[in-house]
Structure 1
């Protein structure tokens, strides 16, 4: 990609590098690994607004992790549970614009953050808010909120949801049935996702393909998977089995966050919540992740989907059918 270099005083080819940077966020100095464009001729750093925004969001994500703050996607989940931003804003005594800012990445102040936590975790608090604001809500909203509070109170008495244990439970059967050769490892899934998200700007579609290629290339080279997930034939190429649930568990575990993709086609960009812990991988596994990341660097979600459609394992399976790891020997990557 060419950009204007003020030192060379002309357009030059650029290279993308990574460097450690410090960002001030609410009085804290937050260290992140930033993506930076440099001139291929004079090595001068060049400003790129998209990269600059992404680097700043990484700093915000690190700040949220450091202070145990809700992510934008978690705030969106809280709002969507109640159905509308107007209803949530009315309950909390906020403007809808304030809620939208938090959903789009702004960091809530402490008072607002505490309110969001109570809204998420304390049905009794929601009940109190309802009694204080019932005159501002429609009959339909009153009925919906009352039902939600009753369901939540009942559910909390009998259930607790552990996303890691739920994934372990779901994938355990595939090892028993011989569909995978490696026991599912959530830590390796989480850190593979973080690895890919730190090395590229990802949509969910591309991330799903990168995980597929990592597990299949590892099987091709070493006879076993890295993460240990089965993959199925989907319209846009191979995806992890029950991929939406897998993605939800990653969000609930605060491994990644998502931000809306601007433009006519929409979508969500995956953003890492922290740096990957590479010590969970063997040298061979890390080599696989690096190979896959570098091969597909610069591929759009559409391009990697099109590439995956040429895989024999994809061509010889039908929609929602599990792609056998026996097809790893035919993988287009070596």
Structure 2
């Protein structure tokens, strides 16, 4: 970005700074452009949004406030209009629509929305509200009962245990863990590089953390842990085993002279880019390009340079905080 005073390129300045939302203070990594000649600092539209989103995400994390896409998906799974969903929950006519558009719910309303995400509790809400009748109530009941049946299936249970059951937090990059996206990221890197599992884990880490560095949220919502060979996704062995069991990945094993065993995974289908935003795809491409010629050992070495890994290595029970993404060195 060019300085409005000198028309020279400005530098990015980052500092930890307090910001206030709803009378509460949060510490964020504040981004600005700085004119080195005049010392003036500026927020462009991207940095203003990134700074604001950091505050909002921390507030939502603190009070477990659902995000707009969560709020919309809860309503859509019951196939109800926003106004009917408002009536079931006892909100004003336009309240639910406003929450879907980005307005922050009150803590009390957030609890009701979260309760409605459970189909069994939603059935109770329908009975208590007395606002739906005729075909509308039958449709809502049918969809809730269908979701209850689906939730009891083995695949849902497995995915929930491995991935989807985690709450949004600084350890998921402030997004709802999305198993489908995470699987596609695996397919993407396995298609482009055929990496050994150890390198694959680092590629996934850098994709999620680099995206967080740029946009304040992760791509997949995966939690990562610091082990001796660098950052790895939570439950990575179980996830890879599950994907091979359902024949989404084929595994290729190799025994090395030192007795170690390496694993590569070959996808059984093509990468589905429809699940990703344009910015997410660009980050995947940039990570692929940056590390495509790195050996597994070099990937381990560069990951050991990251402050997030260094600070988390001695606490194996705590995931790596995504806020360390702002300190990425590679």
TM-score (normalised: structure 2):
0.56
In structure 1, what is the equivalent of residue 323 of structure 2?
Answer: 275
**Counterpart Cα distance in 2 of 1:278 and 1:45:** 19
From the superposition, tell whether residues 188 and 79 of structure 1 become closer, same or farther in structure 2 (CA, over 3 Å): farther
**What secondary structure, in the 3-state scheme, does the structure 1 residue paired with 2:102 have?**
coil
Shift of 1:187: 8.0
In structure 2, what is the equivalent of residue 146 of structure 1?
Answer: 141
Q: Is the 8 A contact 1:182 1:225 kept in 2?
A: no
Q: 1:110 aligns with which of 107, 110, 122?
A: 107
In structure 2, what is the equivalent of residue 221 of structure 1?
Answer: 294
In structure 2, what is the equivalent of residue 210 of structure 1?
Answer: 283
In structure 1, what is the equivalent of residue 117 of structure 2?
Answer: 120
**What secondary structure, in the 3-state scheme, does the structure 2 residue paired with 1:52 have?**
helix
**What secondary structure, in the 3-state scheme, does the structure 2 residue paired with 1:220 have?**
coil
Deviations 1:222-253 (A, max 9, x none): 268969xxxxxxxxxxxxxxxxxxxxxxxxxx
Q: Is the 8 A contact 1:193 1:207 kept in 2?
A: no
**Counterpart Cα distance in 2 of 1:148 and 1:67:** 29
Alignment of 1:222-301 (within 5 A): 222=295, 274-276=322-324, 290=330
Deviates more, 1:185-194 or 1:93-102: 185-194
Q: Is the 8 A contact 1:215 1:225 kept in 2?
A: no
**Counterpart Cα distance in 1 of 2:98 and 2:3:** 32
Q: Which has the higher contact order (CA 8 A, sep 6+)?
A: 1
In structure 1, what is the equivalent of residue 208 of structure 2?
Answer: 193
Shift of 1:148: 1.4
Q: Is the 8 A contact 2:29 2:326 kept in 1?
A: no
From the superposition, tell whether residues 196 and 125 of structure 1 become closer, same or farther in structure 2 (CA, over 3 Å): closer
Q: Is the 8 A contact 1:65 1:274 kept in 2?
A: no
**Counterpart Cα distance in 2 of 1:226 and 1:207:** 21
In structure 2, what is the equivalent of residue 31 of structure 1?
Answer: 27
Is the counterpart of residue 164 in structure 1 residue 179 in structure 2? no
**Counterpart Cα distance in 1 of 2:78 and 2:294:** 48
Q: Which runs of 5+ in 2 are unaligned?
A: 165-178, 218-275, 301-318
Deviations 1:36-94 (A, max 9, x none): 12224211123545532431121110222233332222222212223331221121122
From the superposition, tell whether residues 97 and 29 of structure 1 become closer, same or farther in structure 2 (CA, over 3 Å): same
**What secondary structure, in the 3-state scheme, does the structure 1 residue paired with 2:14 have?**
strand
Q: Which runs of 5+ in 1 are unaligned?
A: 228-254, 256-272, 280-285, 291-334
Q: 1:99 aligns with which of 96, 101, 104?
A: 96
**Counterpart Cα distance in 2 of 1:42 and 1:148:** 61
Deviations 1:191-235 (A, max 9, x none): 6323333235898223223223323532313268969xxxxxxxx
TM-score (normalised: structure 1):
0.55
Deviations 1:281-301 (A, max 9, x none): xxxxx66xx3xxxxxxxxxxx
Aligned alpha-carbon RMSD (Å): 4.1
**Counterpart Cα distance in 2 of 1:184 and 1:77:** 34
Deviates more, 1:98-107 or 1:156-165: 156-165
**Counterpart Cα distance in 1 of 2:150 and 2:285:** 35
Deviations 1:137-158 (A, max 9, x none): 562x323211112112323444
In structure 2, what is the equivalent of residue 21 of structure 1?
Answer: 17
Is the counterpart of residue 74 in structure 1 residue 89 in structure 2? no
Shift of 1:278: 8.6
